[in-house]
């Protein structure tokens, strides 16, 4: 595992070191940063409440995949873009299309499962140009709700505009940043010249005080 990591978050490269090798991304988000939009349900990779999205530079674009933050070690963020449910809305409060579609389709359910569903829809929104019902079901298969139904959420997937070309200006910037991390890794070994003490306050400053 790398001793220090670099990842992209909200359009900037973040450096992190000094963390326990078994620290999970979920605990990092919720406990160290106080970002509690990502929920803890089962804490063993079964329910999808903790779903986040990682972006990686592949084939000339940013590919987005959902992961369960509760079983993902922090070091796995190295070289990736981190996207959490708090990152989706625009600074002026405008909802991301998948969030708006959840509202419009009445797909927003309880506070435990909904953030995970939204993140799975976000990944689908960017990854599949023409998802059919089977593809939508597959995208949502890792998100469990024991209370209500999935139909409004499937409708949200359709209404969100999943199926458009997902490469936009924001992705171009992210792609450049991800490539810069890879290039820096080639030029200097991991950890060289980097140390970000992992106190809670300093970590919060890292991710919460930038624009
Ligand atoms: Fe259930 Fe992570 S909290 S999968
Ligand atoms: Fe959220 Fe069922 S688990 S509504």
> Is residue 155 lining ligand 1, measured as CB closer than 6 Å?
no
Is the pLDDT at 22 greater than 80? The verdict is yes
What pLDDT score was predicted for residue 186?
65
Residues lining ligand 2, Cβ inside 6 A: 109-110, 112-113, 145-148
Q: Do 109 and 49 meet the contact criterion of CB atoms below 8 Å apart? A: no
Segment 126-137, tens digit of pLDDT = 988 778 999 999
What pLDDT score was predicted for residue 68?
98
Spatial distance between the Cα atoms of 124 and 64, rounded to a whole number of angstroms: 8
Domain 1-87+168-201, CATH 3.90.25.10 — does that match? no
CA-angle at 53, arms to 13 and 112, nearest 5°: 125
pLDDT greater at residue 182 or residue 145: 145
**Band (147; pLDDT cuts 50, 70, 90):** confident
Superfamily, domain 88-167: [2Fe-2S]-binding domain (1.10.150.120)
What pLDDT score was predicted for residue 204?
47
ipTM: 0.97
Average pLDDT, the chain: 86
What pLDDT score was predicted for residue 1?
61
Burial of residue 94 (number of CB atoms within 10 Å: 0-12, 13-18, 19+): exposed
What pLDDT score was predicted for residue 193?
36
Compute the average pLDDT of residues 53-82: 96
Give distance in angstroms: CA of 27 to centre of ligand 1. 12
Q: Could you state, in order of their start, the residue ranges of all structural domains in the chain?
A: 1-87+168-201, 88-167
Compute the average pLDDT of residues 54-74: 96
Mutational test site, ligand 2, from 117, 146, 152, 156, max ligand atoms within 8 Å of CB: 146
What pLDDT score was predicted for residue 194?
35
**Band (109; pLDDT cuts 50, 70, 90):** confident
Q: Write out the H or E segment, with its range, that includes residue 52.
A: strand 51-58
Compute the average pLDDT of residues 43-60: 96
CA torsion 47→23→36→141, rounded to 10°?
-20
Q: Write out the H or E segment, with its range, that includes residue 72.
A: none
Segment 152-169, tens digit of pLDDT = 999 999 988 765 554 566
Is the pLDDT at 182 greater than 60? The verdict is yes
Name the closest ligand to CA 113.
2
Is the pLDDT at 124 greater than 50? The verdict is yes
What pLDDT score was predicted for residue 148?
78
Mutational test site, ligand 1, from 24, 29, 45, 144, max ligand atoms within 8 Å of CB: 45
């Amino acid at each position: 595992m790398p001793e220090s990591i670099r990842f992209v978050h909200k359009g900037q490269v973040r450096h992190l070191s000094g963390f326990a090798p078994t620290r999970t991304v979920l605990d990092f988000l919720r406990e160290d940063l106080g970002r509690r939009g990502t929920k803890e349900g089962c804490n063993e990779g079964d329910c999808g409440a903790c779903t986040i999205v990682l972006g990686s530079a592949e084939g000339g674009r940013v590919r987005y995949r959902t992961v369960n933050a509760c079983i993902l070690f922090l070091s796995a963020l190295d070289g990736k873009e981190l996207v959490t449910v708090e990152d989706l809305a625009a600074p002026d409060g405008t909802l991301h299309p998948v969030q708006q579609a959840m509202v419009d389709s009445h797909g927003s359910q309880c506070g435990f499962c909904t953030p995970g569903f939204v993140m799975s829809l976000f990944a689908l929104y960017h990854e599949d140009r023409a998802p059919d019902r089977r593809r939508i079901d597959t995208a949502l298969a890792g998100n469990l709700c024991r209370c209500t139904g999935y139909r409004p959420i499937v409708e949200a997937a359709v209404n969100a505009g999943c199926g458009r070309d997902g490469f936009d200006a924001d992705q171009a910037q992210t792609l450049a940043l991800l490539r810069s991390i890879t290039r820096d890794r080639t030029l200097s070994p991991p950890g060289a010249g980097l140390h970000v003490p992992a106190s809670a306050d300093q970590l919060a400053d890292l991710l919460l005080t930038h624009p």
